[in-house]
Amino acid sequence: MKTLYFDCVSGASGDMIIGSLLDLGTDPLYLKEELSKLGIDSEYEITIKKVNKNGITATKFDVLLKDHAHLHHHDHEHEHIHDESQMEHGHPHDHHEPAGGNVQSVHDHSHTDRHHHHSHEGHGHSHDKHHEPHSLTEVSHSHSHSHQTYSSIKRMIESSALLEEVKSLSIAIFQKIAEAEGKIHGVPVEKVHFHEVGAVDSIIDIVGTAILVCSIKPDKIYASPVPVGSGKIAIDHGLYPVPAPATLEILRGVPIEESNVRFELTTPTGAAIIAVLAERFGSIPSITVDTVGYGAGNKTFPSHPNVIRSIIGHSN
């Protein structure tokens, strides 16, 4: 029996999760080809490289969002310091880090995770993926951008040529986020709006994760308790506690691990992916380990490596 285990060493974000799955040895070209089935290639590019986090070599997954003549680099990582409007503008990705190798540069317009953390490292706007806007959504109904609401994102995924299992998993993760945001903002799930930039980020992170997980074909998926960080984050509405309301709502029923790190370690997208995928939470199960992958965030913490670790193992 094949088991996939997510060891949330430093929380979870969409970009970090994809980075760890690619580090396991999954095919980045296959990921790019499958993501192209969404028909939004013109809106983003993907970069994949090796970086070093506190002595651990990890894969950093980045999405470069194309905004007219500018490329918005969405770096994913753990640290919310921007106001909600910034966060929702796709500034929470911490995928950028000057250090690290230039392993692969896959020009693929795909990426998703709404950490909108402005980190001016690398090219363009570096979004801390581990910093997804506390709210990946916005309640405003005045936007007419494509694939912005939960309903439109769901339709886009359903009408694509992706595998059915990838579609259903992707929609389940998006629904988890939309239900949490809808409850917090007091709006129907179908009317929950994802910010234009955040939507592209989230689509790539969530659908990309579903593509890679389905390619691994695990029989069981488990995860460790999830550290969420501590402190407060500044958004338009004032100072909000960590974890952000949406993240905490998404993690209902999921064991949270105490952390003294004063940053937002787990984003709504990361929380939703883990909450939907993992059927059990605890320490590493009894398995014979086959492969191990590390996905990097953008921040560097003195006390621990800013990574998530994915493990594939088997048992009788």
Q: Is 148 in a helix, a strand, or coil?
A: coil
**Interval 169-178: pLDDT, tens:** 999 999 999 9
Q: Tokens at residue 256, please?
A: 């949270």
* Higher pLDDT, residue 303 or 292: 292
CA distances from 307 to 54, 56, 156, 227, 301 (A): 10, 9, 31, 12, 10
pLDDT at 32: 97
> What is the average pLDDT across 246-252?
95
Per the rule left: phi > 0, alpha: psi between -120 and 50, beta: everything else, 231 is: left
The residues facing 58 across adjacent strands are: 51
Q: Which amino acid is at 270?
A: G
pLDDT at 247: 93
Cα three-residue angle 301-306-309, rounded to 5 degrees: 155
Asked if residue 81 has pLDDT above 90, the reply is: no
CA distance 93 to 116: 6
**Interval 85-125: pLDDT, tens:** 233 333 333 333 333 333 333 333 333 333 333 333 333 33
pTM: 0.79
Residues 14/284, Cβ–Cβ less than 8 Å: no
Task: Kindly report the length of the chain.
Answer: 316
**164 CB burial (10 A radius; 0-12, 13-18, 19+):** exposed
pLDDT at 236: 65
Omega before 98 cis (within 30°)? Answer: no
Q: What percent of the chain stands above pLDDT 70?
A: 72
The residues facing 193 across adjacent strands are: 138, 149
